[in-house]
Amino acid sequence: MILTTDARLALLASIVDSSDDAIISKDLNGIITTWNKSAERLFGYTSEEVIGQPITILIPPDRLQEEPEILQRLRKGERVDHFETVRRRKDGTLLDISLTISPVRDGNGTIVGASKIARNITESKKMVAELQRSNAILEEFAYSASHDLQEPLRTVKIYSELLRRRHADHLDPDGLIVLDHLCGGAKRMETLLNDLLAYTRVTRFEKPSERIDANLAYESALQNLGGSISDSNAKVTANSLPSVRMHFAHLQQLFQNLIGNAIKYRNPETAPIVIIKASRDAAVWHFSVEDNGIGIAPEFTRIIFGLFKRLHRAEEYSGSGLGLAICQRIVEQYGGRIWVESKPHQGSTFRFTIPD
Q: Which listed residue (126, 207, 235, 312) binds ligand ADP by CB under 6 A? A: 312
DSSP track, 130-152:
HHHHHHHHHHHHHHHHHHHTHHH
Q: In a 3-state reduction of DSSP, which class is residue 275?
A: strand
Closest CB to ligand ADP among 166 and 313? 313
Q: Is 351 in the site for ligand ADP (CB under 6 A)?
A: no
The dihedral of CA 275, 278, 279, 285: what is its sign? positive
Minimum distance, C-beta of residue 164 to ligand ADP, in the bound complex (Å): 26
Reference 180, options 311, 308, 315; nearest CA is 315
Closest CB to ligand ADP among 245 and 337? 337
By beta carbon distance, the residue nearest ligand ADP is: 319
Binding-site string for ligand ADP from residue 313 to residue 342, where x marks contact by CB under 6 A and - marks none: ------xxxxxxx-----------------
Among residue numbers 222 through 261, which ones bind ligand ADP (CB under 6 A)? 257, 261
Instruction: Please tell me the distance from the alpha carbon of residue 32 to that of residue 25, in angstroms, as a whole number.
Output: 6
Cβ atoms of 269 and 284 within 8 Å: the answer is: no
Minimum distance, C-beta of residue 332 to ligand ADP, in the bound complex (Å): 15
Closest CB to ligand ADP among 207 and 312? 312
Minimum distance, C-beta of residue 349 to ligand ADP, in the bound complex (Å): 9
Exposure pattern of 232-242 as b/e (b: 16+ CB <10 Å)? eebebebeebe
Instruction: Please tell me the distance from the alpha carbon of residue 107 to that of residue 137, in angstroms, as a whole number.
Output: 57
Minimum distance, C-beta of residue 352 to ligand ADP, in the bound complex (Å): 13
Torsion on CA atoms 157, 159, 165, 166, rounded to nearest 10? -170
Among residue numbers 257 through 296, which ones bind ligand ADP (CB under 6 A)? 257, 261-262, 265, 291, 293-296
Q: Is 39 in the site for ligand ADP (CB under 6 A)?
A: no
Q: Which listed residue (193, 221, 234, 304) binds ligand ADP by CB under 6 A? A: 304
Q: Is 311 in the site for ligand ADP (CB under 6 A)?
A: yes
Minimum distance, C-beta of residue 307 to ligand ADP, in the bound complex (Å): 9
Please give the distance of CA 129 from its chain centroid, rounded to a whole number: 16
| Strand-pair category, 111-120 with 80-88 | unpaired
Contact residues for ligand ADP (CB under 6 A)? 257, 261-262, 265, 291, 293-296, 304, 309-312, 319-325, 348
